[in-house]
Amino acid sequence: MTIVARTDWTREEITALFNMPFMDLLYEAQSVHRANHPRNEVQLSTLLSIKTGGCPEDCGYCSQSVSAESGVKATKLMDVRTVLQAAAQAKDGGSGRFCMGAAWRNPKDRDMPALIEMVKGVRQMGMETCMTLGMLSADQARQLADAGLDYYNHNIDTAPENYANIISTRTFEDRVETLENVRDAGINVCCGGIVGLGEAREDRIGFIYALATMPHPESVPINALVPVKGTVLGDMLADTPMAKIDEIEFVRTVAVARITMPESMVRLSAGRESMSESCQALCFMAGANSIFTGDKLLTAPNAGDDSDGALLAKLGISAMQAAPHGHMEEAAE
């Protein structure tokens, strides 16, 4: 399925959405949601860190950067069998997509054969595949596409104007180049970012504006910063608790993402563990329709299957059987 939604949003329009009375914004977002997606359904994905820590990039939020003193131990790339065992477990737990993440600036060509085996193995189990490995060359993207990779996650993370305040080892344009390589290879794009980095409303506007004016990602993860001690931003937040993102402002960001990218899946990603049930419910109302399940993200804790199961049951939300953009669904048509 190709996304045809408009990409000519103006910054003024996005600002006006952020400024709407909260109830009007939620009503609008839920209306857009219902016109484009099955109601009361969320897509469930499971994350696995296949290569943890020791990352040469200096993203100020990340526990896996060599610049952070977070105590995360660096590991080598996991072997294919261990990855496939974890995938089988995720499938048993009802997950429809398995996302494999590596703390790399980019994969080395010598890593490609193992990565390709992982994609093929997970697909054989009947699950959708997603990887997030840092920057990809056009050739690497093609190799992963040939193996059957369904999604590639590569976030713009924040507004282009704010990028250099958060990461200095690469540019916003580097990110866009990988996104183009991924899209050109025919892989679905998963691209979003983080709020709660201490950014201003203007930066959140700039972040959504950047996403909504590019070819819309099939999936848009909105992460709330998980503050980790020993990272620049985690420590900043510990010193200035007032900097924590306001929940209503977080929900507004989700709603504006839903309205401006109506056909995309909007994923309520990191940060759910410390979010109230009511805030998560408001995010679903605002059009979020995808979450990570399991009790761990890559290195940080996640809400966990028991509390998620209880919350979804309480809200009358069920697991989506097939995401609208996956190769799996196309194969079934």
Q: Which residues of the shown chain bind ligand SF4 in the complex (CB under 6 A)?
A: 55, 57, 59, 62, 64-65, 103, 134
Place of tokens 């069998």: 81
SS3 call for 241: helix
- What's the closest the beta carbon of residue 21 comes to ligand SAM, in angstroms? 29
Smallest gap, in angstroms, from Cβ of residue 304 to ligand SAM?
A: 17
CA distance 228 to 236: 10
Question: Three-state DSSP class for 173?
Answer: helix
Catalytic status, residue 283: no
228 binds ligand SAM (CB under 6 A): yes
62 annotated active-site: yes
Give the binding-site size for ligand SAM (rule: CB under 6 A): 19
Q: Choose, by CB under 6 A, the member of 157, 199, 203, 308 that binds ligand SAM.
A: 157
How far apart are alpha carbons 297 and 100 in whole angstroms? 10
Query: Which listed residue (97, 130, 175, 252) is catalytic?
Result: 130
List Cβ neighbours of 320 (8 Å cut-off, separation of 6 or more).
38, 41, 42, 43, 44, 96, 289, 290
Task: Examine residue 287 and tell whether it contacts ligand SAM (CB under 6 A).
Answer: no
Single-letter amino acid, residue 225: L
163 makes contact, choosing from ligand DTB, ligand SF4, ligand SAM, none, with CB < 5 to 8 Å by partner type, with none
Residue 191: active-site member? no
Q: Of 97, 170, 175, 190, which is the active-site residue? A: 190
- Closest contact distance (angstroms) between CB of 217 and ligand DTB is 11
Contact predicate 279/250, CB 8 Å:
yes
Please select the residue that binds ligand DTB; options are 223, 231, 253, 293, rule is CB under 6 A: 223
Helix ranges restricted to H, the chain? 11-18, 22-36, 80-92, 112-124, 138-147, 163-166, 172-184, 201-212, 232-239, 247-260, 277-285, 305-315, 327-332
CA dihedral 261→175→63→195, nearest 10 degrees, is: -30
Which region among 134-142, 273-281, 295-303, 313-321 touches ligand DTB (by CB under 6 A)? 295-303
Q: Of these, 33, 37, 51, 154, which contacts ligand SAM (CB under 6 A)?
A: 154
The yes-or-no answer on residue 267 being catalytic is yes
> Does residue 83 interact with ligand DTB by CB under 6 A?
no
158 binds ligand DTB (CB under 6 A): no
Q: Quick check: 226 binds ligand SAM (CB under 6 A)?
A: yes
DSSP assignment of 44-87 equals EEEEEEEE-S-BS---TT-TTBTT--S-PPP-PPPPHHHHHHHH
178 counts as binding ligand DTB under rule CB under 6 A: no
Q: Where are the alpha helices (DSSP H) in 232-274?
A: 232-239, 247-260
Ramachandran angles phi, psi of 63, nearest 5°: -70, -15
* Touching ligand DTB, residues 297-326 (CB under 6 A): 297-300
Catalytic residues: 55, 59, 62, 99, 130, 190, 267
Residues that bind ligand DTB (CB under 6 A): 47, 63, 99, 101, 132, 153, 155, 192, 221, 223, 226, 269-270, 297-300
